[in-house]
Structure formats: structure tokens, C-alpha cells
Structure 1
Amino acid sequence: RPLVADPGSAAQCRSGRLPCLMSSLPAGTDIKRALDNSPETNIEDELPDGPPQPRPKNYLLLSILACFCPAYPINIVAFVFAVMALNSYNQGDIEGSKRLGRNALWVAVASIIIGLVIIGIYCVVHFTTVSKMLSVPMQALLAYARASE
């Protein structure tokens, strides 16, 4: 059935003299029913058959904590692996997510170990150097005190 009675009334509708129809579909047509068979709304074939698998560990928190260690190129790689594991799970790749999560774990642990070694070396160098530096002025002060007596 025609939507507008005559061609002149469409111009009147645009000019604001007649109330316009919001839809070009006739009254009583169900829009949802028209979209039921479209390929964009038919996702029944994409649903998995079994129950959803639990999310594998991506070790994102561990890799974030590893970023505080002073082994910067390595801990950033661990963080990237953890984010990639999370993205793989979101895309439905469970095995890829498990593999990337294991990689993130190993790289984060290596980063933490390397960071602790670096901190240990820094502390040893710092405290041995500072104690020698403090002992030189103390010896000079003692020598000055003895000379002034």
C-alpha cells in the first residue's frame, strides 16, 4: 500500500505542514521479524557445542609486578606475552592462550630473578665503595686530630 497519498504531500511533509511518518515500512510490519533470517543476526552456527572452557592463566599481574624490576627489556616482553594470552583467549584460541601464558610466566620469572641479581650487585658495589669512602675521611680526621695535639 502506498505510504504517501500523492507526490505533493511528500514535499509538504518535508516543509513541516503535514506530520511525517518515521518509517518507510507500512504500519504493522515487524522489523525484528524481517531481520531474523539475515546472516548478521544468525549466530547459532557459531556457538560452541560444549560448556565454555575456563580461562587459562595469563599471568598479567605477575608480569606487571615484574615491570618494577630493573630488567627492563625482559619484563616488557613478559607483559606483552601476558596481554597476547588474554587477547588469544578473547578470540577463542584456548591453546594459544595457554602457550602464551606459559611464555609470560617464564619470562616474568626470569625478569624477577635478573632484577634481584642486579639489585644485589648494586648493593654490594654501593656499600663496599661507600665504606671505603667513609674510612678515608675518617682517617684524615683522626690524623688531623693527632697532629693538633
Structure 2
Amino acid sequence: MALTVLNPQVKNSLSGSAFFDQGSIEGQGPPPPLRSYLCLAMFSCFCPAYPVNIVALVYSIMSRSSYYHGDYDGSRRLGRNALYVAVASIIIGLLIIAISCIVHFTTMDY
């Protein structure tokens, strides 16, 4: 354990063994761009598929949180899930609107 005190580049794994980073912080490139699809998830909240669009919003917020904690792979995965759920929410919402309009205008008495 004295090795971790002397060298801050050493990380401990869950099994207790230590491994070294593959480079210094200065040598690493910039982080990948954030793609949490927050705007799309908020837009999907206006569709009438409420449980689904709230899940998209939660995935999007979790993606941003993972990105800011440095978990870029987890952020990418959660962002992709947010995109899929938001698109599904928009499609479900448009289907609900279309079906309600069809039912309303076909059962209307003149």
C-alpha cells in the first residue's frame, strides 16, 4: 500500500492488485464529446407517452452525470439508451395522437 502513497498513477483493482495508468494526465487526449440527448429527451416529454419519456429523461441525466464523473463508456451507453427511448416515446406519442384524432373525427355527428 505504500506504493500508492508514493505514486499517484497507481490504481488498485477490486482483487487488490495494483496496475499503472497507461500515461500521464497531460499525455491523454481530450475527453470524447458529450452526447446525452437531453434536448431530445426534454422534447419527448411533450408527447403523451408519459412513463416512457420520463425514462428517456432519466437516462439522459444519468449519461451527463457519468460523463462528468469521467465514465465515458458508461456515458456513451446511457446516452444511446436515452436516444432510443426518446425516439420510441416520440413515435408512441405520435401514434396516440393519430389514433385519438381518427377516433374523434370518425365518431363525430354532423
Where on the TM-score scale, by shorter chain, does this alignment land: which range? 0.7 to 0.9
Query: Normalization by structure 2: what TM-score?
Result: 0.75
Gaps of 5+ in 2: 11-23
Most deviating of 86-95 and 51-60 = 51-60
**Partners of 1:55 and 1:89 within 8 A in 2:** no
* 2:48 alignment partner in structure 1: 70
Among all aligned residue pairs of Structure 1 and Structure 2, give the percentage whose two residues are the same amino acid. 56
CA deviations over 1:9-59 (Å, ceiling 9, x no partner): xxxxxxxxxxxxxxxxxxxxxxxxxxxxxx9xxxx7597340221223110
**Aligned Cα RMSD in Å?**
1.9
2:56 maps to a residue whose letter is A
Deviation at residue 124 of structure 1 after TM alignment: 0.2
> Which stretches in structure 1 are left out of the alignment for 5+ residues?
1-38, 135-149
Counterpart among 53, 60, 80 of residue 38 in structure 2: 60
Q: In proportion to residue count, which structure has more strand?
A: 2
Say which of 93, 101, 105 aligns to 1:115: 93
1:54 & 1:128 partners in 2: Cα distance? 51
**Which one has more relative contact order, counting CA pairs under 8 Å at least 6 apart?**
2
Aligned residues: 90
- After TM superposition, the runs of 4+ consecutive aligned structure 1 residues lying more than 6 A away are none
> Larger Rg: 1 or 2?
1
